[in-house]
Amino acid sequence: MQLRYNYRLYPDSGQQASLARAFGCARVVFNDGLRARQEAREQGLAYISDGELSRRLITEAKQTPQRAWLGEVSAVVLQQALADLNTAYRNFFASITGKRKGRRVAPPRFRSRKDNRQAVRFTKNSRFAVLDNGRLRLPKVGDVPVRWSRALPSVPSSVTVIRDAAGRYFASFVVQATDAPLPPVDSEVGIDLGLTHFAVLSDGTKVAAPKFLRRAARKLRRLQQDLARKQRGSRNRKKAVVKVARAHARVADTRRDWQHKLSTTIIRDNQAVYVEDLCVTGLGRTRLARSVHDAGWSQFVAMLEYKAARYGRTFGRVDRWFPSTRMCSDCGRVNDKMTLDVRSWDCPCGSHHDRDVNAARNIRAAGRADLNDRGAQVRPGPVPAPRREAVTHPDVACSTRSVEGISAL
């Protein structure tokens, strides 16, 4: 399994200038490649191949006065920028032809130097190295100090240097990590994600929603008001933009750390984990959009999925149209739709249900039925028909021919 390990970088002023130069050159090569293919399409010419694009925009462009400064950065950075463009085109073509599932992918667009996030990628061909003194050696950049929070499990195949909106630098290593199965346990859990409680487990455990963005709303409001008062294009406005970005980054980092701890605990304590396949994109367009994005359901489910694959656990998704909330987990009866303010309800069979706990139990049962061989009972089982439904009514029109083809009269 391939994983990413992120570490904080602390480049000095000279190294920051070199990285800024690398960001700009990669952006220019990407935009030149996109422009060349768009012009070829408008003129009715053939699609420019990857090799031809690399020869024109990198090898030959370095020999011209207009693009001579491309030689100041590593050639691997420029090649990887074109590789990103080719990947974007392949994803777009696969999406419009139906080979790629999911949402429709838009065609690639031009990169802007005003984007808050800039990144370049170094592969093994660039001969980057992790030195014995703990620094990261990048070609034509130098030895950059790294804050090693943990050791790399193996030799990295590539490293991506990222500068985020808050002005922080990160090194993202791609490594090949071996699976580390955990000791098997007997418990299985279904998880119902929500807003009042972030997660409700089928065993009755309720995890309160931290609401990191709501808690930081007062500080963010004050910083954004200060930003709105600054004159556009001024240095003070740029400083205010960085302050707002740092506040948002602190919220995102806190949420990510909390979700990592919770997902690790759930995977460690359960042999199988089942969740509901929610349409977060659609819920993000409703009046609850801020709360939905603050919860971070998609990120949490992704953590559960890859950790289950790494640690030898079972992970399953239940169809989003499965009536987990309205179905009685005891008798299987599907009741009428309920509004969000109904937190508990009674089934005609006599069972009293907490709305979220009942949904988590149904999700666990549906996940078991889909992924294991035991065939857990999700729908109500067969029951004897009432006497009035089991008899033959003489006034009902019957067929004039029997099954064997002989007349029934």
Catalytic residues: 192, 276, 356
Angstrom distance (rounded) from CA 65 to CA 47: 27
CA distances from 324 to 92, 203, 205, 365, 376 (A): 35, 15, 17, 10, 15
Task: Give the position of tokens 């004159």.
Answer: 231
Q: Which residues of 337-372 are buried (b: 16+ CB within 10 A; e: fewer)?
A: eeeeeeeebebeeeeebebbbbbbbbbbbbbbbbbe
Q: How many other C-beta atoms can be found within 10 angstroms of the C-beta atom of residue 314? A: 16
Structure tokens at 75: 């050639």
85 burial type by CB count under 10 A (0-12 exposed, 13-18 middle, 19+ buried): buried
CA distances from 224 to 115, 117, 288 (A): 19, 19, 22
229 burial type by CB count under 10 A (0-12 exposed, 13-18 middle, 19+ buried): exposed
Task: Give the position of tokens 């707002």.
Answer: 244
Length of the chain: 409
Task: Give the position of tokens 């030895």.
Answer: 143
For residue 202, give the nearest of 367, 392, 30, 27 by alpha carbon: 367
Residue type, 373: D
For residue 126, give the nearest of 167, 156, 101 by alpha carbon: 156
91 with 100: CB under 8 angstroms? yes
